[in-house]
A and B are shown apart, each in its own frame.
Chain A
Amino acid sequence: MTESRDNLHVMNRAALTKRLADRLTQREAVIGGIGNSNWDLWGAGQRPENFYMLGSMGLAAPIALGVAIAQPTRRVFALEGDGSLLMQLGCLSTIAAQAPKNLVLVIWDNGIYQITGGQGTPAAAARTDFVAIARASGIASSQWAADEAEFDALVQRALTTDGPHVIGVRTDQEPGRNQTDRDPIRFRESFMRAMADKVGTG
């Protein structure tokens, strides 16, 4: 698998979100980070097992960790942007320490704060490697996806082997294609009802 952020194929977040969603057949939970991560998750098709954040920037991975701890037999994905993760890097150590086998963090790295006008992040200016940070934080299964085929392979591995897994993806700067509704109570009720329908212990 790919070790370095350099020379990665730059992919499209909306297309890859759809690619990921199409592989979810076991009522996996998906936590969409604020902004375009969320909007592309919405655009990929609404599932009751999706939770759409409307604020709390940086908390997609922690929310996913909580779901993963509460339901160890359900796989849980967090889709988080690079700027959001940069706000809450400490959560990578917490995830590594708890080591939930069922947790997957996908990092969409476009290097910008897209929703606020496309300003570059300090991490982009410094060529910060988020996957290297995840690995150094103690999450051994942390990999960049070199291209779409490798993304598929990493998702397949995340669905079939013990985690936690981190999948880094360099994405282009196309804005999200959709926007979510803004209805937090409905989102929470829908997500809770979906989570109450437990996934088997297999």
Chain B
Amino acid sequence: MTSDTEPLTWHAIVRQALKDNDVRLVTYVPDNVLRPLIDGLHADPFFTCFPTAREEEAVGIVSGAAMAGMRGIVLMQTSGFATLPNALASLAVAFQIPVLLMVSERGTLGEFNPGQAIVCRTMRPILDSMGIEHHTMSRLDEAAFIADRTMRQAFATRWPACLILSPLLTGKRS
């Protein structure tokens, strides 16, 4: 896991979980909360990390790579997740492809934008309706366990999975 000298941050924990599960491909539509994670992934030669124009496109790329032997994850914000139901239902779920999703959760715990707040309420029902397991990471002491086990299960069961980053986790500076 993370070395003794490295400060324990949520993004270092996520990066290590990705490595431990051999997830080498990272596609994202950026988000300010995800910035330290994205910066760390770009800086680490273990990862192939790049932005896409839309989240659907990122799901397509990760699906193709997964079928060709390279594991991947899509990073996005809540509003980006809301564009995904068709791609998830008809590709990742229908074909049983282990596409990992990580959503930085906006629209709750102090949101100022009413649009974001409403979009946020659609996220978990959409995931539940497709039987996509999701876990909300809200505590630093649980983050490594949740991230690693969720990824492990997604690949073992060949099913997409979603990790939701709560402001409780990402809103604190560590």
Contact = CB atoms under 8 A, between A and B. Distances in A.
A43 interface: no
B66 A55 contact: no
Nearest to B158: A188
B54 A188 contact: no
Interface residues of A, number: 38
Contact of A88 (B25, B56, B63, B67): B56
A67 B68 CA distance: 5
Interface in B25-78: 25, 48, 50-54, 56-70, 72
A54 B90 contact: yes
A59 B52 CA distance: 13
Given A191-B67, A195-B67, A195-B68, A59 B57 contact: yes
A66 B96 contact: no
A192 B69 CA distance: 8
Contact of B95 (A29, A88, A188): A188
A54 B56 contact: no
B97 interface: yes
A59 B70 CA distance: 18
Interface in B117-167: none
Nearest to B71: A70
B12 interface: no
B94 A66 contact: no
Say what secondary structure dominates the interface of chain A: helix
Contacts of A51: 64, 67
A125 interface: no
B97 A94 contact: no
B86 A65 contact: no
A97 B87 CA distance: 23
B82 interface: no
B56 A29 contact: no
A1 interface: no
Contacts of A53: 91
B50 A31 contact: no
Contacts of A74: 68
A97 B91 contact: no
B89 interface: yes
Q: Which has the most chain B C-beta neighbours within 10 Å: A29, A69, A71, A188?
A: A69
A185 to B, nearest CB: 6
Nearest to B58: A62
A83 to B, nearest CB: 15
B54 A88 contact: yes
Interface of B: 25, 48, 50-54, 56-70, 72, 86-87, 89-91, 94-97
Given A66-B61, A70-B68, 17 more contacts: A31-B64, A55-B94, A56-B60, A56-B87, A58-B56, A59-B59, A60-B60, A62-B56, A66-B60, A66-B64, A91-B54, A94-B57, A97-B50, A184-B94, A184-B96, A187-B95, A188-B67
A-B CB proximity, top 6 nearest: A55-B90, A90-B53, A66-B64, A62-B60, A59-B60, A70-B70
